[in-house]
Chain A
């Protein structure tokens, strides 16, 4: 089955700690994205990558870091510099532009800072 897998589904972090969220896809998509959802808000773009070994900041990249060493994988690290990390994190992938196409989403990771 092709799809996007995010793990873990729930994650708890102590203040001051870095934590890494996993995202793997087997759709052979070039582009991958990380979004954050807060209650009552839409999805906001954190980082995106169009190709292996290249990634760009989105609208709210501060306090986050990513890597894209393999086409299938796009992990997101939430660093201690992120002031309000508690949120629902969504990873997505799509074929590379300029094609008009939808993005496919994983099931999300809920991160809670305790």
Chain B
């Protein structure tokens, strides 16, 4: 039973345009959400997070939106750059769960020059 789902395994975007990566979750106890970026044969690196008390968090070119009623979050990257090409993982955690992260299956983003 996947509690965090990323339904798009891949996404291609032209350089300079917006990339939108989506994530859905089923566990209503999740109250903290994160996005990680991962290159092949490397560990994930943290990008941006959002607490369930907010609906938007912005950091430079990266913005995360949270829609609690729809149990949906999205990561917007604008403008997209070729260096953004990587696998993006959505993750979630819940208070009282020892804060272990539950990950989605990832979306491969390719930014075309």
A97 touches B99 (CB 8 A): yes
CB distance from B33 to the nearest CB of A (A): 10
> Residue on A with the closest CB to B9?
A40
Q: Which residues of A contact B99 (CB under 8 A)?
A: 31, 94, 96-101, 103
> Residue on A with the closest CB to B46?
A102
For the complex, give the distance between the alpha carbons of A101 and B105 in Å.
21
Q: Which residues of A contact B102 (CB under 8 A)?
A: 45
Which of A68-76, A79-87, A104-112 makes up part of the contact surface? A104-112
For the complex, give the distance between the alpha carbons of A58 and B100 in Å.
9
Residues facing A in B21-66 (CB within 8 A) are: 31-32, 34, 36, 41-46, 49, 51
Q: Which residues of B contact A48 (CB under 8 A)?
A: 98, 100
> Residue on B with the closest CB to A9?
B41
Confirm or deny: A42 has a beta carbon within 8 angstroms of a beta carbon on chain B: yes
B103 touches A43 (CB 8 A): yes
| Binding site secondary structure of chain A | strand
| Binding site secondary structure of chain B | loop
* Chain B interface size range: 20 to 34
CB distance from A22 to the nearest CB of B (A): 14
For the complex, give the distance between the alpha carbons of A8 and B106 in Å.
25
User: Which of A42, A92, A98 interacts with B89 by CB under 8 Å?
Assistant: A42
Confirm or deny: A64 has a beta carbon within 8 angstroms of a beta carbon on chain B: no
B32 touches A100 (CB 8 A): yes
For the complex, give the distance between the alpha carbons of A104 and B6 in Å.
21
**Given contacts A94-B99, A97-B98, are A42 and B9 in contact (CB under 8 A)?**
no
Confirm or deny: A25 has a beta carbon within 8 angstroms of a beta carbon on chain B: no
Question: Other than the known A100-B32, A102-B46, A103-B46, what 5 A-B pairs have Cβ atoms closer than 8 Å?
Answer: A40-B105, A43-B91, A90-B44, A96-B99, A98-B95
A-B contact pairs, 23 of them (CB 8 A): A4-B43, A33-B100, A40-B9, A41-B105, A42-B6, A42-B89, A44-B103, A45-B101, A50-B98, A92-B43, A94-B99, A96-B99, A97-B98, A98-B99, A100-B31, A100-B32, A100-B49, A100-B51, A103-B99, A105-B36, A105-B45, A108-B42, A108-B43
